[in-house]
Structure 1
Amino acid sequence: MNKVAIAAIDLGKHSFHLHAQDDRGHEILRKKFNRVTLIRYLANLEPCTIVMEACGGAHFMAQEVAGLGHTPKLIAPHLVRPYVKSNKNDFADAEAICEAATRPTMRFVPPKNQTQQALAMSNSIRESFIKDRTATVNRIHAALLEVGVSLAAGFKAIKELPALLEASSFSERIKKNLMLLHGHFNYLDGQVQVLNKDVECQAAEDDLSMRLMTMPCVGPITSTVLAAELGDGKQFKCGRGYAASIGLVPKQHSTGGKNVLLGISKRGDRNQRRLLIQCARVYLIHLERQKGALADWVRRLLASHHHSNLVVCALANKFARIAWAIAAHHTEFDAGPNAMNA
């Protein structure tokens, strides 16, 4: 049997489908495993390249594969899809992953370590609790409107709901239902506060997060999200590659030698793009207090453009490039001499 040069795994919860090829691209093995038998097979396999889609459980499996002496590589699912030949099934997906990985221009997703996973998990849970808290607030407002009460906007009015119910003439069942919603709001709000402190602690303990916070208007939330996704930044050739991966560069529609640039592409991770744009908006709000080359560049853009949204996107793009440089070159942000905020 020829030596396995590259093996692709179609990941599942309980079943894993493996497609292995030699160095000439010929199929050697096609087999279904469970989790235990897969790890046992890989442990007995000579070191090779193991490729998977960057989906649920992929980063854990990449850590396991690396521990067994193999070279793990992850590919974004949308880059694998064009290589599925005909009907979709698990073995066809594994073969497509293998085919995609052999392309010389293929882009790979860097596997996360457990520190990066913890940063990403904390931020993900925090975002989900914030969404649930907002949904609960909306339910309280809607329920009160049904009994003729229009509650003021903001969390202060929600927190004063028990006093409002005490003084009302609502039925006991209505009061009970509203207090259930109020208790759920208090729980979610408490969890968000706990996670805020947890993210701040993780940012203070993570070297890359601390260096990213030297950028203007970047705090613990943004820095930990970027640190979890960027890693060492080596997966991108330059800062523009990272900015393009999160959709902060112009979308191109060119043909016949005529270059047409549209608005930002909005590809990739929406959360990273949103956070960087928010940082750019805050920077513009406090622009009069900013000094240095970056602030002068922003002022020139504002003078030459009619709409601040264009400048916000350009500045978010600049922030993305700076973040990549900080990660890839192990540096900190330097605004230049005499650039301290007033």
Structure 2
Amino acid sequence: MKITTIGIDLAKTVFQIHGVDSHGKTVLRKKLDRSRMLEFFIKLEPCLIGMEACGSAHYWARKLVEMGHTVKLMAPQFVKPYVKTNKNDVADAEAICEAVSRPNMRFVPIKTELQQAVLSLHRVRQGFVRARTAQCNQIRGLLSEFGVIIAPGRTSIAKRLPEIMERTDLPGSFRHLLQRLYDQLKGLDQQIDEMDANIEQWHRESEVSRKLTEIPGIGPITATALLASIGDAKNFKNGRQLAAWLGLVPRQHSSGGKSVLLGISKRGDTYLRTLLIHGARAVIRFADSKPSNCWINKLLARKNKNVAAVALANKNARIVWVLLTQQEQRFRPDYVPAVAA
């Protein structure tokens, strides 16, 4: 009995394993505790192992690769069609084992520890930003109950809140509560500034990240997030595949030879797509100061700003793919494609 392919249904403490031989016949069904995972696979002959790209998948993939196994990660939505019966651990492991052997299956690159460390900075920073926004909205909502209206935005709160806390027409207990909320808001600002400093330091140490910031609309935060998420850009066949992975291309609903294109698919990483679109909006804001023959100005002449922002984000994603796959290339603002020339 030689196991050639294994599917692992990952969990927090209990893992379900399904293995088949070279003829596709089931030869292994086993449930393992977390503590026995490495012990089991280190005794196993090297084989193909499939897992869903979920929590802790990249950690286990690195460990299994070190043992000599070939590990491939797949998006959960690509595994779901292979589930034959009701959802359970045994059926999921069998579906993963079946899906990983498909020749046209799409796989997720295994992230390194450095990539995951940088992405952790971004995720923690994103959580602090959300908490700060919620804090600002809570302060504005509480003040509105007392007839005090503050314009949206952190700047307005930081400017007006100190003087509001000095007002004698507000109850003392409420002013004390405002002080606590204001202190908490300043603490969140400090945490975000520290996260930004850590990201900026990693950005300065990475030559590739600095190269990406030469593209208008991409700053240190976007550049580091792209590098940590994409990894080896050669996993994508071309720039359009990268843009599609980010959800920046139209959805299709075509049939009978008739092509129907809808809005952008919004697939992939929401965080990366948001950064690229916000960066594109910043470029559009100052597009009027550019020459009249600028590509974005021509686009704005016939499309609204939101459509133009997505189009520019799509273009920037394709440029990123070129810069990552061709290390000698640098961004050239005056570059004209051969077809256009």
TM over 0.5: yes
Asked if the contact 1:212–1:332 (Cα under 8 Å) also holds between the matched residues in 2, the reply is no
Q: More deviation in 70-79 or 204-213?
A: 204-213
Q: More deviation in 149-158 or 23-32?
A: 149-158
Asked if the contact 1:108–1:235 (Cα under 8 Å) also holds between the matched residues in 2, the reply is no
In the TM superposition, residue 13 of structure 1 has moved relative to its aligned partner by 0.7
In the TM superposition, residue 109 of structure 1 has moved relative to its aligned partner by 0.7
Give me the TM-score of the superposition, normalised by structure 2: 0.91
- Aligned twin of 2:296: 298
For residues 230-280 of structure 1, give each alpha carbon's deviation from its aligned partner in whole angstroms, at most 9, with x where no partner exists. 111122111111111111112212111112222222222222112112222
1:82 aligns with 2:90: no
In the TM superposition, residue 332 of structure 1 has moved relative to its aligned partner by 4.1
- Aligned twin of 2:286: 286
In the TM superposition, residue 337 of structure 1 has moved relative to its aligned partner by 5.6
Q: Structure 2 vs 1, CA of residues 196 and 75 (structure 1 numbering), >3 Å: closer, same or farther? A: same
SS at 2:323's partner residue? helix
Amino acid at match of 1:175: R
Asked if the contact 1:231–1:327 (Cα under 8 Å) also holds between the matched residues in 2, the reply is no
- Aligned twin of 1:257: 257
After TM superposition, the structure 1 = structure 2 runs for residues 45-194 of structure 1, keeping only pairs within 5 Å, are 45-159=44-158, 160-194=160-194
Instruction: For 1:27 and 1:208, locate their aligned partners in 2 and report how far apart those are by CA, in whole Å.
Output: 46
Asked if the contact 1:230–1:324 (Cα under 8 Å) also holds between the matched residues in 2, the reply is no
Percent identity over the alignment is 44
Asked if the contact 1:8–1:20 (Cα under 8 Å) also holds between the matched residues in 2, the reply is yes
- Aligned twin of 2:316: 319
- Aligned twin of 1:270: 270
1:330 aligns with 2:327: yes
Asked if the contact 1:119–1:199 (Cα under 8 Å) also holds between the matched residues in 2, the reply is yes
Instruction: For 1:15 and 1:291, locate their aligned partners in 2 and report how far apart those are by CA, in whole Å.
Output: 61
SS at 1:111's partner residue? coil
Instruction: For 2:291 and 2:49, locate their aligned partners in 1 and report how far apart those are by CA, in whole Å.
Output: 49
In the TM superposition, residue 286 of structure 1 has moved relative to its aligned partner by 2.7
Asked if the contact 2:217–2:279 (Cα under 8 Å) also holds between the matched residues in 1, the reply is yes
C-alpha RMSD of the superposition? 2.2
Q: Structure 2 vs 1, CA of residues 279 and 163 (structure 1 numbering), >3 Å: closer, same or farther? A: closer
Give me the TM-score of the superposition, normalised by structure 1: 0.91
User: Hey, which bits of structure 1, 4+ residues long, moved more than 6 A?
Assistant: none
Q: More deviation in 164-173 or 225-234?
A: 164-173
Instruction: For 1:250 and 1:35, locate their aligned partners in 2 and report how far apart those are by CA, in whole Å.
Output: 42
Asked if the contact 2:51–2:74 (Cα under 8 Å) also holds between the matched residues in 1, the reply is yes
Instruction: For 2:138 and 2:102, locate their aligned partners in 1 and report how far apart those are by CA, in whole Å.
Output: 51
1:309 aligns with 2:306: yes
In the TM superposition, residue 155 of structure 1 has moved relative to its aligned partner by 2.7
Instruction: For 2:226 and 2:248, locate their aligned partners in 1 and report how far apart those are by CA, in whole Å.
Output: 14
Q: More deviation in 213-222 or 329-338?
A: 329-338
- Aligned twin of 2:22: 23
Asked if the contact 2:136–2:153 (Cα under 8 Å) also holds between the matched residues in 1, the reply is no
Asked if the contact 2:53–2:108 (Cα under 8 Å) also holds between the matched residues in 1, the reply is yes
Instruction: For 1:16 and 1:253, locate their aligned partners in 2 and report how far apart those are by CA, in whole Å.
Output: 38
Instruction: For 1:155 and 1:309, locate their aligned partners in 2 and report how far apart those are by CA, in whole Å.
Output: 24
Instruction: For 1:338 and 1:240, locate their aligned partners in 2 and report how far apart those are by CA, in whole Å.
Output: 19
Instruction: For 2:328 and 2:11, locate their aligned partners in 1 and report how far apart those are by CA, in whole Å.
Output: 39
For residues 88-138 of structure 1, give each alpha carbon's deviation from its aligned partner in whole angstroms, at most 9, with x where no partner exists. 111111111111111111101111101111111111111110110010111
- In structure 2, runs of 5+ residues without a counterpart are 337-341
